[in-house]
Amino acid sequence: MKPTVAAHHLAATFARLRPDASIETLPVDDTFWPRLTSGQLGDFHHEYLVSLHAFETDWSGWERHPEGDEIVCLIDGDVTFVLDVDGEQSVRLSDSGAFLVVPRGTWHTARVAAPSRMLFVTAGEGTEHRPVAG
């Protein structure tokens, strides 16, 4: 059987990168995040989620990914990531194509200086969240 080849857009379809180097497309709708957090889409063990997100305001929380590094690539906008690495360290992404690697297990949040779109490649297994203080 020949594979189906089709164009996709990350605004409507995310991609799961599997350990065997195959890729599964995941339609994004109102049920996506509840299905993801409830485990209906699996545990993402040794898998990565490729997603596109737009932000107009600072993140309201911190997150970390204990099972792997995360790549964040700026498509457009201006955003500063704050990482909790021996105290807070800031990394500004303001040029299209600029990216940062968030090390495994590092708490991070983002401060948005201008409306921004970013591509994320996330080791999703075990992702944790906590609110931003103040």
Q: Where are the domains of the chain?
A: 13-131
Structure confidence by residue, pLDDT tens digits, 14-38? 999 999 999 999 999 999 988 888 8
What does the H/E/C string look like for 84-132? ECCCEEEEEECCCCCEEEECCCCCEEEEEEEEEEEEEEEECCCCEEEEC
Structure confidence by residue, pLDDT tens digits, 45-103? 899 999 999 999 999 999 999 999 999 999 999 999 999 998 999 999 999 999 999 99
Q: Between 2.70.70.10, 1.10.3720.10, 1.10.10.10, 2.60.120.10, what CATH number should domain 13-131 receive?
A: 2.60.120.10
* pTM confidence score: 0.91
